[in-house]
């Protein structure tokens, strides 16, 4: 648990505690924050509708838990967990995301945000106020295929989020979900080139789609991509 730089909660309106935005939560994980124990808060709703998304109940669902309930849970996890992961859906579209992160941070937790890169203004504020400690940024697809994959037009916002993180000192990772009906190895090569041109020298994570999942749209089985399919022009690529 991190006890440094705990933000002062003065001038934070706590009325949001009576609102519901969190669909569900995972009380314990060792997989979602590198080398840390954490819980995951799954925020309802998303401004992208990726066909391969296997959380349709979260994307189209509503919040089921009051923030006050989550805050009570987090207080019981002090000194037991290192971090809180804010995920979804898309957590950064919620107007109360900054106060709930401040609240979690005030308890001494490290904060990780999983984001689709659509909210650079919110991300910039979180960076400036030193409220986040790690970010996983989704790179959904090439500029040409971005809309087809996400049903949204947020490619330029993704680039802005990437540039904000690249200029910051916050550890972050870039990750892409690979479904062979939506992307091919040439697309991955193109996406690698974008990252290289923008100066990215960290690990690029490629997550093979897991077949037989309940997804937003029906998709055929995906043919997994492997390291031999990829032109290794980056420092490190890990296929999950």
Report how far residue 160's alpha carbon sits from residue 124's, in angstroms, rounded to the nearest whole number.
10
User: DSSP class of residue 233?
Assistant: -
Decide if 87 is inside a domain.
yes
Residue 8 lies in a domain: no
Domain that holds residue 156: 21-239
Q: What is the longest distance spanned by two Cα atoms in the chain?
A: 54
The C-alpha angle 58, 135, 231, rounded to 5 degrees, equals 100
Give the CATH number, domain containing residue 61: 3.20.20.70
1 within a domain of the structure (yes/no)? no
| Helix segments in 13-110, DSSP class H | 56-59, 67-76, 97-106
Spatial separation of the C-alpha atoms in residues 203 and 215, rounded to whole Å: 27
Cβ(48)–Cβ(90) below 8 Å: yes
CA distances from 52 to 31, 173, 240 (A): 21, 20, 16
In-domain check, residue 4: no
Q: Tell which residue, 134, 53, 128, has the closest CA to residue 89.
A: 53
This prediction has a pTM of 0.92
Examine residue 191 and state whether it is found in any structural domain, yes or no. Answer: yes
Structure confidence at residue 164 (pLDDT): 99
Residue 77 belongs to a domain: yes
Burial class (CB in 10 A: 0-12, 13-18, 19+), 58: buried
From CA 183, how far away is CA 174, in angstroms rounded?
16
CA 233/CA 218 separation, integer angstroms:
33
Sign of the Cα pseudo-torsion (190, 215, 53, 150, in order): positive
In-domain check, residue 149: yes
Residue 136 included in any domain: yes
pLDDT at 82: 99
What is the number of structural domains in the chain? 1
Each residue's pLDDT tens digit in the chain (240 positions)?
A: 554 444 445 566 778 789 899 999 999 999 999 999 999 999 999 999 999 999 999 999 999 999 999 999 999 999 999 999 999 999 999 999 999 999 999 999 999 999 999 999 999 999 999 999 999 999 999 999 999 999 999 999 999 999 999 999 999 999 999 999 999 999 999 999 999 999 999 999 999 999 888 899 999 999 999 988 887 666 688 998
């Amino acid at each position: 648990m991190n006890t440094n730089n705990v933000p002062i909660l003065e001038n934070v309106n706590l009325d949001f505690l009576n609102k519901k935005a969190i669909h569900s939560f995972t009380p314990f994980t060792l997989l979602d924050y590198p080398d840390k124990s954490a819980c995951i808060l799954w925020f309802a709703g998303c401004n992208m509708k990726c066909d391969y998304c296997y959380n349709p109940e979260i994307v189209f669902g509503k919040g089921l838990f009051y923030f006050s309930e989550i805050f009570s849970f987090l207080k019981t996890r002090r000194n037991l967990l290192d971090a809180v992961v804010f995920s979804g859906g898309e957590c950064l579209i919620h107007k109360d995301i900054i106060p709930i992160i401040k609240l979690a941070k005030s308890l001494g937790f490290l904060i990780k945000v999983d984001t689709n890169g659509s909210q650079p203004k919110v991300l910039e504020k979180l960076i400036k106020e030193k409220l986040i400690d790690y970010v996983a940024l989704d790179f959904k697809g090439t500029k040409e295929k971005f809309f087809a994959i996400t049903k949204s037009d947020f490619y330029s916002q993704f680039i802005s989020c990437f540039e904000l993180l690249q200029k910051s000192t916050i550890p972050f990772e870039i990750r892409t979900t690979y479904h062979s009906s939506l992307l091919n190895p040439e697309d991955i090569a193109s996406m690698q080139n974008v990252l290289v041109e923008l100066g990215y020298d960290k690990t690029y994570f490629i997550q093979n789609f897991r077949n037989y999942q309940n997804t937003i749209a029906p998709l055929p089985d995906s043919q997994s991509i492997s390291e031999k399919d990829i032109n290794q022009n980056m420092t490190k690529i890990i296929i999950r």
